[in-house]
């Protein structure tokens, strides 16, 4: 499953909760992180600010620099959909270019869009519920189809 993770979700993952679970799925390779150079630069500029608060920031930075389970894209279109925080349009641009299924974000102004050109924009909790449902459907399909 291909996703774009907003910087706010990475920051929220430093504390226990659903954002941490999302980031763990990425670390384990259960989801693929889609990013652009602009997004990666934001991650690498903002996450180090949390090194003193959380030792996991260093590990996260190492994984991002190594581009672990990551697909880099170069968006071909610039969007002007988010008026309150225009810098967040980069997440939409990336997700659309990468044909990602989800943008996972803690930012309400981004999540308020709900869906953009086929990309669902959800909280970490909503993403985990959707993924669990899809995983259960896949298991049920495999039970009834001996070829899988």
Please provide the DSSP assignment of 67-134 as one string.
TTTEEE---S------SS-GGGHHHHHHHHHHT-SEEE-S-HHHHTT-EETTEEEE-HHHHHHHHHHH
DSSP state of 1: -
Per-residue pLDDT of the chain in tens (148 residues, 90 and over written 9): 999 999 999 999 998 899 999 999 999 999 999 999 999 999 999 999 887 666 788 899 999 999 999 999 999 989 888 888 889 999 999 999 999 999 999 998 899 999 999 999 999 999 999 999 888 776 544 444 554 4
Q: What is the pLDDT of residues 101-124, one digit of tens each?
A: 999 999 988 999 999 999 999 999
Q: Which residues pair with 33 in a beta bridge?
A: 3, 70
Residue 12 has φ and ψ, to the nearest 5°, of -60, -25
Question: How many CB atoms neighbour CB 115 within 10 A?
Answer: 10
Q: How far apart are CA 129 and CA 119, in angstroms?
A: 16
Predicted TM-score (pTM) of the model is 0.89
The domain spans of the chain are 2-143
Q: Which residues pair with 43 in a beta bridge?
A: none
- CATH numeric code, 2-143: 3.40.50.1010
DSSP state of 48: G
- 6 contacts 89 by C-beta, under 8 angstroms: no
Q: How far apart are CA 67 and CA 62, in angstroms?
A: 9
């Amino acid at each position: 499953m291909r996703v774009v993770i907003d910087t706010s979700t990475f920051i929220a993952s430093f504390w226990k909760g659903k954002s941490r679970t999302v980031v763990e799925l990425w670390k384990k390779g259960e989801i693929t992180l889609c990013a652009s150079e602009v997004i990666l630069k934001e991650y690498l500029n903002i996450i180090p600010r949390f090194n003193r608060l959380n030792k996991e920031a260093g590990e996260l930075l190492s994984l991002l620099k190594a581009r672990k389970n990551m697909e880099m894209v170069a968006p071909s279109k610039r969007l002007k959909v988010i008026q309150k925080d225009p810098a967040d349009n980069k997440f939409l641009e990336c997700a659309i270019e990468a044909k990602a299924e989800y943008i996972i974000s803690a930012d309400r102004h981004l999540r308020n869009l709900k869906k953009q050109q086929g990309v669902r924009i959800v909280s970490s909790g909503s993403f985990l519920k959707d993924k669990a449902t899809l995983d259960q459907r896949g298991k049920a399909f495999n039970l009834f189809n001996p070829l899988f």
